């Protein structure tokens, strides 16, 4: 049995290199196809993952807790039933360390020259750092130093719109639970940057205690954000947080908080498989043509081997092994090309020329390719599987030849 396999493999290898030019062309086609599969998938993975991470930073967190009516009416009247102290006590009994409670209300910010509608966040800077949330990337001035910090951090784009800068005073105005005007003067202590310009123009951060005092809401908060280890696996942390709050609040994972991002992740996983199949289906025509020509050129030889006693199954195996060897060489070269293409680009590809269009999809002006081994494995499996299926027809045809007809064929 082992000798038979060895002989079939040796014959397949020799036949593969009978026509060097044809084999090299086919190997080049397979290599380029595999490279295209993996490289384009890495680009798409990078874009989608970047969109999801930026989306989670802007939410922030993998799981969020709100009053049941807050998402429909994000006003100061829909605060969580548990106050900040009670929430801290509840989390202290768990192993969850990456979480933050915050006040989140619509507000108006005014400078000496302009006014803009914004979302005001009252935050605890120490908690926000554990979430890697927007507002921590300070490019000028400094960040908030505590929950009672009297300053405010705004985005670079917002500073341009308001024609203000670090050190200048602004006024923030919102409503308290009695529907009375609540306002306070703040000094701009820092400017933050974000991947999307829209975040810099819509978000304003101040100390949580300072905002609570301005809104006259004591120790109450609007939301709690919790960060897990992996945005793809949030079921465990979701169940823990849900059990903590029960019916007192609405607990949702990020996929439901931002259905667009959740849909993008599902579509991406499906797109990868479809993309790989479509690419190789195009290549399979070339593969079948190569094998058919190789069989056609050796009709008399195949007939002679059958006449000398070689079994049809050995002829079948010889053509299939020949196809697998061709695919293996192409896969090896394609994988190396993909790795050599992606690794140098991990620091990012500047696509600022189409930044406005990319921002419409929630993507930044820098594209970071991400090559995942499961995508590489999938590409290799797809190529080998479809290549094997494509080789069955010419292999079966060769094994069915009548020895006499094949030998006498001109």
Cβ partners under 8 Å of residue 384, min gap 6: 324, 327, 331
The pLDDT of 100-105, averaged and rounded, is 94
Q: Which of 44-58, 288-302, 316-330, 344-358 has the lowest mean pLDDT?
A: 344-358
Query: What share of the chain in percent tops pLDDT 70?
Result: 93
Spatial separation of the C-alpha atoms in residues 231 and 66, rounded to whole Å? 20
Share of residues in the chain with pLDDT > 90 (%): 33
| Structure confidence at residue 247 (pLDDT) | 83
Separation in Å, CA 206 to CA 84, 147, 173? 16, 8, 13
Q: Report residue 85 CA to chain centroid gap.
A: 36
- Tell me the per-residue pLDDT of 64-89, one tens digit each, with 9 for 90 and over: 999 999 988 998 999 999 999 999 99
Q: What is the pLDDT of residue 173?
A: 95
Per-position DSSP letters for 313-338, written without gaps between them? HHHHHHHHHHHHHHHHHHHHHHHHHH
**Residue 39: CB partners within 8 Å, gap ≥ 6?**
337, 338, 341, 342, 369
Task: Flag whether pLDDT at 353 surpasses 70.
Answer: no
Confidence of residue 235 (pLDDT cuts 50, 70, 90): confident
Give the pairing type, strands 63-66 and 169-175.
Answer: unpaired
Residues 6+ away with beta carbon under 8 Å from 49: 370
Q: Which of 191-205, 220-234, 242-256, 287-301 has the lowest mean pLDDT?
A: 287-301
48 near 348, Cβ under 8 Å?
no
3-state secondary structure of 108: strand
Average pLDDT over residues 184-202: 88
What are the CA-CA distances from residue 150 to residues 95, 218, 283 (Å)?
32, 17, 64
Task: Answer yes or no: are the C-beta atoms of 367 and 50 closer than 8 Å.
Answer: yes
- Mean pLDDT (the chain) is 83
Which is more confident, 387 or 177? 177
Instruction: Report pLDDT digits (tens) over 239-277.
Output: 999 988 888 899 999 888 877 777 777 777 777 777 777
CA 39 to CA 342: how far, in whole Å? Answer: 7
Distance of alpha carbon 132 from alpha carbon 315, whole angstroms:
61
Q: Compute φ and ψ for 91, nearest 5 degrees.
A: -70, -30
The pLDDT value given to residue 324: 86
Q: State how far the Cα of 222 lies from the Cα of 122, in Å rounded to an integer.
A: 9
Q: What is residue 224's three-state secondary structure?
A: strand
Indicate if the pLDDT at residue 375 is higher than 90: no
Alpha-carbon distances, residue 105 vs 180, 245, 259 (angstroms):
14, 22, 22
In this structure, is the dihedral angle defined by the CA atoms of residues 116, 119, 123 and 129, taken in order, positive or negative? negative
- Predicted confidence (pLDDT) at residue 300 exceeds the cutoff of 80: no
- Residue 401 or 2, more confident: 401
Around 284, how many Cα atoms within 13 Å sit in the side-chain half-sphere?
19
Q: Where are the domains of the chain?
A: 2-55+261-408, 61-257
DSSP string of 110-131?
E-SS-EEEEEEEEE-HHHHHHH
Predicted confidence (pLDDT) at residue 352 exceeds the cutoff of 70: no
* Cα first-last separation, the chain: 34
Q: What is the CA radius of gyration of the chain?
A: 31
pLDDT tens-place string over residues 169-184: 999 999 999 989 999 9
Q: Are 277 and 313 in contact (CB under 8 A)?
A: no
pLDDT of residue 311 exceeding 90: no
Angle between helices 259-297 and 299-307 (to 10 degrees): 70
pLDDT band at 6 (very low <50, low <70, confident <90, very high): confident
Confidence of residue 298 (pLDDT cuts 50, 70, 90): confident
Query: Cα 32 to the chain's mean position, in Å?
Result: 24
Instruction: Look at residue 389 and give its three-state secondary structure.
Output: helix
Q: For residues 181 and 281, give the distance between their C-alpha atoms in angstroms, rounded to a whole number.
A: 65
pLDDT reported for residue 93: 87
Average pLDDT over residues 200-205: 92
Of residues 121 and 350, more confidently modeled? 121
pLDDT at 101: 93
CB count, 10 Å around CB of 340? 11
Work out the pLDDT band at 152, boundaries 50, 70, 90.
very high
Q: When comparing pLDDT for 339 and 410, which is higher?
A: 339
> Given the DSSP bridges, would you call strands 181-192 and 138-141 parallel, antiparallel or unpaired?
antiparallel
Q: Which of 368, 329, 336, 338 is nearest to 350 (CA)?
A: 368
Q: Is the pLDDT of residue 357 over 60?
A: no
More confident residue, 295 or 129: 129
Sign of CA dihedral 280, 284, 286, 290: positive
How far is 379 from 331, CA to CA, in rounded Å? 9
Question: Residues 368-390: what's their mean pLDDT?
Answer: 83
């Amino acid at each position: 049995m082992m000798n038979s396999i060895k002989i079939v493999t040796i014959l397949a290898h020799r036949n593969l290199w009978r026509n060097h030019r044809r084999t090299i062309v086919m190997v080049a086609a397979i290599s380029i196809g595999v490279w295209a599969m993996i490289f384009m998938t890495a680009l798409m993975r990078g874009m989608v993952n970047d969109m999801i991470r930026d989306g989670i930073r802007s939410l922030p967190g993998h799981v969020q807790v709100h009053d049941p009516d807050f998402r429909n009416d994000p006003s100061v009247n829909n605060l969580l039933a548990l106050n900040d102290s009670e929430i801290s006590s509840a989390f202290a009994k768990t192993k969850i360390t990456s979480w933050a409670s915050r006040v989140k209300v619509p507000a108006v910010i005014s400078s000496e020259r302009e006014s803009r509608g914004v979302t005001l966040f009252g935050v605890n800077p120490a908690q926000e750092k554990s979430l890697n949330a927007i507002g921590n990337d300070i490019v000028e001035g400094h960040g908030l130093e505590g929950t009672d910090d009297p300053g405010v951090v705004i985005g670079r784009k917002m500073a341009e719109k308001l024609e203000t800068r670090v050190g200048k005073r602004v006024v923030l105005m919102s409503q308290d639970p009695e529907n009375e005007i609540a306002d306070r003067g703040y000094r701009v202590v820092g400017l933050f940057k974000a991947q999307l310009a829209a975040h810099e123009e819509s978000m304003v951060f101040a100390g949580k205690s300072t905002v609570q005092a301005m809104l006259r809401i004591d120790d109450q908060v609007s939301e709690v954000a919790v960060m897990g280890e992996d945005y793809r696996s949030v079921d465990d942390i979701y169940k823990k947080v849900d059990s903590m709050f029960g019916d007192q609040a609405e607990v949702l994972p990020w996929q439901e908080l931002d259905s667009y991002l959740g849909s993008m992740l599902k579509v991406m996983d499906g797109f990868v498989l479809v993309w790989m199949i479509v690419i190789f289906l195009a290549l399979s025509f070339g593969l079948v043509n190569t094998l058919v020509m190789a069989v056609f050129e050796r009709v008399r030889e195949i007939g002679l081997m059958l006449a000398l006693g070689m079994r049809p199954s050995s002829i079948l195996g010889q053509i299939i092994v020949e196809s697998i060897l061709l695919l293996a060489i192409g896969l090896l070269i394609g994988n190396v090309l993909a790795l050599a293409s992606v690794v140098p680009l991990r620091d990012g590809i500047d696509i600022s020329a189409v930044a406005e269009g990319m921002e419409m999809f929630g993507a930044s002006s820098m594209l970071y390719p991400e090559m995942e081994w499961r995508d590489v494995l999938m590409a290799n499996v797809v190529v080998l599987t479809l290549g094997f299926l494509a080789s069955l027809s010419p292999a079966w045809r060769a094994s069915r030849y009548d020895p006499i007809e094949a030998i006498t064929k001109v």
